[in-house]
Amino acid sequence: MIVRCIPLTTIEIRWHGRGGQGVVTANELLAGAALKEGKFIKAFPEFGPERMGAPIRAFTRLSDKPIMVHSQVYTPDMVVVIDATLLKQVNVLDGLKDEGQVVANFPDGKEKLSQIIGRSKNVHAVNATKIAMEEIGRPTTNTAMLGAVVKSLNFVSLDSVLEELESKFSTKFNKEVVAKNLKAVKRAYEEVD
Amino acid sequence: MADQLVFNGDQAIAYSWKQINPDVVASYPITPQTIIVENFSEFVANGEVDTEYVCAESEHSAMSLCIGASAAGARVATATASAGLAFMWEVLWIASAMRLPIVMSVANRALSGPINIHCDHSDAMGARDTGWVQMFGENVQEAYDDSLMSFRIAEDMKVRLPVMNCIDGFITTHALEKFIPMETADVKKYIGEYKPVRPLLDLIHPTTYGPFTMNDYYFEHKYQIHEAMQAALPVVRSTLNDFGQRTGRHYDVAEGYRTEDADYVIMAMGSTAGTLRYVVDQLRAEGHKVGSVKLRLFRPFPYEDVAKLLQGKKGVAVMDRAISMGSTGPMFPEVRSALYDAKDRPKLVNYVYGLGGRDVRTDELVGVFKQLMDGSAKTMNFMGVRV
Amino acid sequence: MADKKSKELPQGAMITEAGNAKNYETGSWRSKTPQVNKEKCTNCLFCWIYCPDNCIIVKDEKMSGFKLTHCKGCGICATQCPVKAITMKEEGA
């Protein structure tokens, strides 16, 4: 059998976080939201014996076409940093495309963030820790970061993400927790600069 | 059409079992297969299936339980990986020798040592001679589709052999992808009622399974299994065709991608086959006449299909995600053998790659094509190892 | 017996005929033959219970001899007989 050629347009995202911070969950929610909009997706963590607190990575591919590449992401269109302490520990810019974006959980705005990482183009900061503390009451920043990612990415709608979060979280958490997380997503969506 | 879902490969396989509702599942969890049996045990606990679920104390026991249950007349599924499959090895032969249509998902993972949890095909390759049909899927959709088709192939009266459907550990088992399941009612219709052959529980036709045979009969029974394996090839082909007509997802035992006018071709199994197609597109855009072949069926080996796709090419690289140390990768000799009688044999080289989960980068695959095209590839090569 | 072709045999080495062990005449293996002294025998049928090849012939609840087509001459009956009514004689003696 001969398979015909399928051209590809794909957005690749690399997530940086620490074990236990919900990177994988945020990745899954983004993927689920993209599915709602008929996109093709591939979302996977950098597999290994995941340890609480250890730096971990996760990868997302979003596309209008079926996704063929199954390798890790080496030249991302977007890098997401969930934990600001990683900015100094890990080369988060590794392989980032020239036009690629950086979205980081960072308390002091994008100018300061640009200085630290040594890049000014397409850099977005959001104080996800503050948002999480105020809205959820604990520093689980993954949902807030998801809001910031959706805003910067402009590929999946906020409504799809909120819908996906509500349906996924409702099976695990009570209504109050779900509502708090929804609010965190919305706030980060508004506040990311 | 059923709703689209975002599942990882393991979840997709568990979901297929839920729709099939096998009579017995006996298993022992092992990374990266664990999610399959974890999810399925939830379906059992929730009463969503009425499967008799047995937590075995080892893989050897799990397969032995499957064999007993299958001989008793049950539709049986299980899953394993790596050391678990190795531990089953002895009993795998018994499952095929008793002609039991057990379906097993294998989440391909390297074998120790050093101990490693990531993907390569050493586990399944170690079981290639056991009389099991072996299929390799590329992604989550294929994990699900292969799982469904495995039951049809195994239970076909011309085959009646156990089937292993393999997917790449972590790369497919743990990656979320969009996939389209069949409606459960359609699955039930597709898989149909299980028809046991002389089950132990049929007291009107008492049957003895697993007798001792000496040099006077052992050989004849092994020949029977080989014949059934030969018969499996057209059955797999027609099963894939039929599945394509039902779902619009068309598969083949060996799938060529832009091979028709290609001069240089790379052949691989599992997830690498997808990455390869992307690389082929890249190089085609630069004007190189390249193509790729995805091998889906490793046992029985589709020699004629492979020869048809590869003969007349200038160069072919066979990518093996396993190595027979002191020899080559296990697929290479098969492909060479397939092409020996071909009219126009290509230059044929072997690349061993991706052992222990070493990531398969697109730029490395481009490198393999380049070496193939400029003639610098040796007969045996390695991709991605620091020498 | 050992001349059936692969396609003539049941698939999966199944034995599909119940009790076909009777076609395998293990009596040819015998080097010693059991003999019973019915004057000593109390018909307790221990020999019938212990015989691994089902070779003790019982008629009207009485032990009445051996099925020599299948008796391998193992001597378990002689060993188990509580009144020593069974003895093993050299084959051909």
Distance CA B163, CA B145 (A): 13
Backbone angles phi, psi at B134, to 5 degrees: -125, 120
Among the listed residues B136, B134, B130, B96, the one whose alpha carbon sits nearest the alpha carbon of residue B233: B134
pLDDT at position C93:
58
Q: HSE of C4 in the Cβ direction (CA atoms, 13 Å)?
A: 13
Contacts of A41 in chain B (CB under 8 A): 6, 176-178
Asked whether this chain's domains B5-247 and B254-383 adopt the same fold, the reply is yes
Among the listed residues B51, B44, B53, the one whose alpha carbon sits nearest the alpha carbon of residue B23: B51
Mean pLDDT, chain A, integer: 91
Identity (one letter) of the amino acid at A124? H
> Residue B217 and residue C16: Cβ atoms within 8 Å?
no
Nearest CB neighbour to A5, from listed B117, B250, B281? B281
pLDDT at position B261:
97
Distance CA B270, CA B296 (A): 8
Say yes or no: ipTM exceeds 0.85.
yes
In a domain, A28, yes or no: yes
CB-based contact, B171 to chain A, within 8 Å: yes
Q: Over the stretch C22-40, which tens digit does the pLDDT of each residue have?
A: 888 999 999 999 999 999 9
Distance CA A87, CA A118 (A): 11
Nearest-Cα distance to chain C for B195, in Å, is: 16
User: pLDDT confidence of A3, banded at 50, 70, 90?
Assistant: very low
> Residue B224 and residue C16: Cβ atoms within 8 Å?
no
pLDDT at position C2:
65
Asked if residues C34 and C78 have their Cβ atoms less than 8 Å apart, the reply is yes
pLDDT at position A6:
38
In a domain, A1, yes or no: no
Bridge partners for B104 per DSSP: B78, B164
Number of domains in chain A: 1
Q: Over the stretch C3-14, which tens digit does the pLDDT of each residue have?
A: 899 999 999 999
| Strands annotated E in B76-228 | 76-80, 103-108, 133-136, 163-168, 176-179
Distance CA B290, CA B297 (A): 22
Q: How is domain B254-383 classified at the CATH fold level?
A: Rossmann fold (3.40.50)
In a domain, A4, yes or no: no
Tokens, residue A109: 């705005």
| Strands annotated E in B263-356 | 264-268, 290-295, 297-299, 315-320, 347-353
Contacts of B210 in chain C (CB under 8 A): 13
Closest residue on chain A to B117 (Cα): A48
Interface A:C, ≥3 CB–CB pairs < 8 Å? no
> Residue C15 and residue B211: Cβ atoms within 8 Å?
yes
Q: Which residues of chain B have pLDDT under 70?
A: 1-2
The answer to whether residue A2 scores a pLDDT higher than 50 is no
Among the listed residues B133, B114, B105, the one whose alpha carbon sits nearest the alpha carbon of residue B25: B105
Q: Over the stretch A19-39, which tens digit does the pLDDT of each residue have?
A: 888 998 999 999 999 999 999
pLDDT at position B280:
98
- B5-247: CATH architecture: 3-Layer(aba) Sandwich (3.40)
Domain ranges, residue A141: 10-191
Burial class (CB in 10 A: 0-12, 13-18, 19+), B220: middle
Concatenating the DSSP letter of every residue in A43-89 gives EEE--S---BTSEEEEEEEEESS-----S--SS-SEEEES-GGGGTT
Nearest CB neighbour to B207, from listed C5, C6, C15? C15
In the stretch 106-145 of chain B, residues with CB closer than 8 A to chain A read: 117-118, 138-139
How far is CA B267 from its chain centroid?
15
User: pLDDT confidence of A193, banded at 50, 70, 90?
Assistant: confident
> Residue A47 and residue B251: Cβ atoms within 8 Å?
no
pLDDT at position B2:
63
In a domain, A131, yes or no: yes
CB-based contact, B10 to chain A, within 8 Å: no
DSSP-derived pairing of the beta strands C62-66 and A101-105: unpaired
Domain extent listing, chain B: 5-247, 254-383
**Angle ∠(A40,A45,A50) on CA atoms, nearest 5:** 160
> Residue A42 and residue B175: Cβ atoms within 8 Å?
yes
Distance CA C66, CA C49 (A): 13
The answer to whether residue A165 scores a pLDDT higher than 60 is yes
Distance CA B351, CA B360 (A): 12
Percent of chain A residues topping a pLDDT of 70? 94
Closest residue on chain C to B212 (Cα): C13
pLDDT at position B361:
96
Asked if residues A105 and A79 have their Cβ atoms less than 8 Å apart, the reply is no
A91 Cβ neighbours under 8 A, 6+ residues apart: none
Distance CA A110, CA A113 (A): 5
pTM above 0.90, yes or no: yes
Yes or no: is domain C26-90 CATH 3.30.70.1450?
no
